[in-house]
Structure 1
Amino acid sequence: MEKNVGTGEAILRITGGLTLIAWATGEMAKDKSPSVHILCAALGAQKVGEGIMRYCPIKDLIVKNKKEEEDSQSGNIVLP
């Protein structure tokens, strides 16, 4: 697993994720049906994890697909 998130982006992901978790937790304390807030808290936790690990699987997938598309357009054969 290669790092694909820079330091500045990692700090933003951690900060945004913790903010989302705090907001969702506060809303769950007020609301009786916290289903949407649990989802928001889970997404915030995912962003915190991405920031700590400095790896984003979605970003990695997009870069790999873009590279494969460029290779196929240039006529190069890429073996796995």
Structure 2
Amino acid sequence: MTNKPLRTEIVINRAIGSLASVASALVLSVAAAPIAQAAPTATPMKNVASGKCLDGSLSQGVRLNACNDTAYQRWS
């Protein structure tokens, strides 16, 4: 009598080999994925001496103005 593998053993061994290949590919793809960067936070820039904030718009340009927490005073 020979120790010939049963058909179910062959199928199981092939399935394990395929699963190992898929797992390796998954690990490599996750390891190669770029790291996400947080979006920069826009904050007002306040002049310590005057207490005014840097304000900018297309119509009036960049200037110091009273702080009012508008989008024109948020810089990143």
TM range (shorter): 0.3 to 0.5
Greater fraction of residues in strand: 2
TM-score, normalised with respect to structure 2: 0.35
Higher relative contact order (CA 8 A, sep 6+): 1
TM-score (normalised: structure 1) = 0.34
Structure with more helix by fraction: 1
Larger Cα-atom Rg: 2
